[in-house]
Structure 1
């Protein structure tokens, strides 16, 4: 079921922990992080230029606020970032425990950000998944070890997420007007016992859930019933998160990482940490702005 797809290296710098890609169609620009490297990357497709922005903290997720501002989820809370000069303004706290940091997140069509937190040492059950909108923060799910695969159906009526340590992709009914749960999560797909963990994810216009498979060198597409429909190989074992890019949102970028690899393993995986561009084509969706 693994499909042959044209795969190119979008940016060859090897991120320690590449994560959190997103795309601004208005400026044809992709953004992603090296969490452990405290770096935000900006890739402008028109020129092919990739810029590095050093950060004073570990950040993992970027949401668009408007044409001038972005919201960063970080280990020090939520920050507003001005695109013009990169200046940062602390907006709100996220976790009070300094042993926790932000991880995977995505914005719901109603403008609510779901953001996961986890222990800096991946302590089991130390993290959570939160809802943030209009300055209000609510904890949705507790005792999460490594929150990932946060994404939403096109109509906003279903949310998806995973705890990578648990190995199951969860589905939960949502209020489309708020992005808040209307019921309890149930398992949609089960990857327990597989070498390839469930990492970052995004949902396309047809409702397929594209999940990066950490340790599996691929991106897997599940339909809303949990059936595996397609898999696309990427040239790095630890694929971490996908995002749709291009004027027609018909391509995908995928981040990766070399976190946890010794020198021998890194040498055997020479493109680990690079950021890739996949030509499918497909029918992607924009990441909506967050409502502050």
Structure 2
């Protein structure tokens, strides 16, 4: 067991845990298991975990500001999802995507837009892309050429969008304009060969960028110049993403994957002491995210 992390107790582990999302109004953390087609919810008050099975592989879930429930990125496109009772309805399709692609990771920005990546299920060709979903429902491709599109993250000042090309070990930085257009893509960081590959990402309130190391058994905090400032080791190899949660946004939850590895904690959900607070998540549909 790593001294850096605690395991969240529950009755199953994830095949491919991803996309953690803090929901302040519910005092709950949501995340998905892509391969098991599940949405999971951890109640921070009592530790209870709920789970729902989706009709397709699911890459992410983001709360809605101007309507009940959530949007979720399924293999065929974006769906509107509500719970109690569970409903799944079409919202925006991926008609232009090649057959065999799926959605993988996403984040909402302060203007209520969602930035979401796609990738081939087999990770075998650069057919994935980066999309922008506007509050009005328009879905626009803004970048392409990804084997594995991962980890959108938006800087605290809203001026930069970071996106990961996991297959190439590269993280790109785009100028992000108020109207939703992106400036030219620039390489911001390339992972060393001994560090695994970059997966999900999130910024903290001080501007540090936390990156999950797939194959590297850790999450790391990088400073604005791309230097490692802090490392938290984990007792699982395939680390996928993370999100700050809790009333003070000082609890860092980390997802992992158990598919393809023989590890006692692969696929567990971890809580890590990051030593810093995070940023409140934004919701889809309107500006400024959740109410405080």
Q: 1:131–1:180: 8 Å Cα contact kept in structure 2?
A: no
Answer yes or no: is 1:14 the counterpart of 2:7. Answer: no
List runs of 5+ in structure 2 lacking aligned partners.
287-292
What CA distance in whole angstroms lies between the structure 1 residues aligned with 2:180 and 2:249?
23
What CA distance in whole angstroms lies between the structure 2 residues aligned with 1:154 and 1:9?
28
TM-score, structure 2 as length reference:
0.92
What secondary structure is seen at the aligned counterpart in 1 of 2:193? coil
Q: What does 1:175-214 align with in structure 2 at a 5 Å threshold?
A: 175=177, 177-181=178-182, 183-214=183-214
Tell me the equivalent position of 2:119. 118
What secondary structure is seen at the aligned counterpart in 1 of 2:115? strand
Question: RMSD of the TM alignment (CA)?
Answer: 1.7
What CA distance in whole angstroms lies between the structure 2 residues aligned with 1:178 and 1:288?
17
Q: What does 1:154-173 align with in structure 2 at a 5 Å threshold?
A: 154-173=156-175
What CA distance in whole angstroms lies between the structure 2 residues aligned with 1:271 and 1:179?
40
What CA distance in whole angstroms lies between the structure 2 residues aligned with 1:217 and 1:142?
28
Aligned pairs, number? 282
What CA distance in whole angstroms lies between the structure 2 residues aligned with 1:215 and 1:206?
27
Shift of 1:166: 0.9
- Inter-CA distance 170–232: structure 2 relative to 1 (3 Å threshold): same
Answer with 16-25 or 5-14: which moved more: 5-14
Q: 2:222–2:230: 8 Å Cα contact kept in structure 1?
A: yes
What do the CA deviations read for 1:165-219 (whole angstroms, capped 9, x no partner)?
11111111111x24431x2111111115235110001111111110110001100
What secondary structure is seen at the aligned counterpart in 2 of 1:270? coil
Q: 2:5–2:270: 8 Å Cα contact kept in structure 1?
A: no
Shift of 1:63: 0.9
Shift of 1:260: 2.9
Tell me the equivalent position of 2:110. 109
What CA distance in whole angstroms lies between the structure 2 residues aligned with 1:84 and 1:94?
27
Answer with 5-14 or 98-107: which moved more: 5-14
Q: 2:4–2:234: 8 Å Cα contact kept in structure 1?
A: no
List runs of 5+ in structure 1 lacking aligned partners.
none
TM-score, structure 1 as length reference:
0.92
What secondary structure is seen at the aligned counterpart in 2 of 1:57? coil
Q: What does 1:23-172 align with in structure 2 at a 5 Å threshold?
A: 23-66=22-65, 68-95=68-95, 96-133=97-134, 134-172=136-174
What CA distance in whole angstroms lies between the structure 2 residues aligned with 1:280 and 1:100?
34
What CA distance in whole angstroms lies between the structure 2 residues aligned with 1:169 and 1:280?
22
Tell me the equivalent position of 2:289. none
What do the CA deviations read for 1:137-159 (whole angstroms, capped 9, x no partner)?
11111111101121000111001
Q: 2:150–2:164: 8 Å Cα contact kept in structure 1?
A: yes
Shift of 1:28: 0.6
Q: 2:20–2:32: 8 Å Cα contact kept in structure 1?
A: yes
Answer yes or no: is 1:280 the counterpart of 2:274. Answer: yes
